[in-house]
Amino acid sequence: MKLLFVFILIMAPLMSSCNNLNQPLDCSDIYQQDKSKPSGVYTIYPMGGRSAVQVYCDMATAGGRWTVIQRRIDGSVNFYRPWDFYKMGFGSAAGEYWLGLDNMHYLTNKQQKYELLVDMEDFEGKKVFARYSSFKVGAECGGYILQVSGFTDGGAGDSLIYHNGMKFSTFDKDQDLWPENCARKFMGAFWYNTCHYANPNGVYRWGADNSLFAVGVVWHHWKGYDYSLKTISMKIRPVQ
């Protein structure tokens, strides 16, 4: 009996750290395990044991630990998709993808507060960012409401605050505040208001193009409605 007690005492910390090692919740957990790990594709478990999902971890920008939840880099993935895809996630962690609203909800509704960094680049190679000290996605039953605040300007301007408090909309699920359908009109999926200042899931159009109004990968406060960005990525991490 005494031996068993000692055994449990010795094994307890091992067992708990083992669980953590095998099932990191996000890229911040992966970073804490080994601070020398480079940026790249890793497996995380945002909803526990059976929720394995591949993501891109940014371990370099502003201290690293970022879990990328959305990324456009080359137009290789079609982002004009219905509700179920935005709920569950799609694309490739090594390239363009959307992590999924369920994963975003679970990650950002744990005890720790999350911050958001939006990195973007134009076709001339100029890079800017917008940073928010608080980012949270509500539950599906409430429409995955976006809560974002605490803006810091890295040259991009604040195109997201207009979307704060909005429900998520896709072309087949209109939860925006416009009488018509924002997702259909602007060929994306987002927390549309009436409709947008940011359309990161819009059509990849390789730069300036005013043939169709504001349907591109738009961040209005930086490049206006007629410019579709070369890259944009939204990444989150727990506030330390």
Strands, E, within 22-89: which ranges?
A: 40-44, 53-58, 66-72
What tokens were used for 175?
């939860």
Binding mask 176-205 for Ca ion (x = CB under 5 A): x-x---------------------------
Of the residues 174, 184, 220, 225, which one makes contact with Ca ion according to CB under 5 A: 174
> Is 149 in a helix, a strand, or coil?
strand
Q: Which is nearer to Ca ion, 173 or 223 (CB)?
A: 173
Distance of CA 173 to the CA centre of its chain: 20
* Nearest distance in Å: CB 139, Ca ion: 21
Task: Rule CB under 5 A: say whether 172 interacts with Ca ion.
Answer: no
* Nearest distance in Å: CB 155, Ca ion: 32
What tokens were used for 142?
């409430």
Q: Which is nearer to Ca ion, 29 or 176 (CB)?
A: 176
Q: Choose among 65, 44, 46: nearest CA to 55.
A: 44
* Nearest distance in Å: CB 162, Ca ion: 16
What tokens were used for 35?
């601070």
Task: Tally DSSP H helices, then E strands, for the chain.
Answer: 6, 13
* Nearest distance in Å: CB 177, Ca ion: 7
Applying CB under 5 A, the residues found at the interface with Ca ion are 174, 176, 178
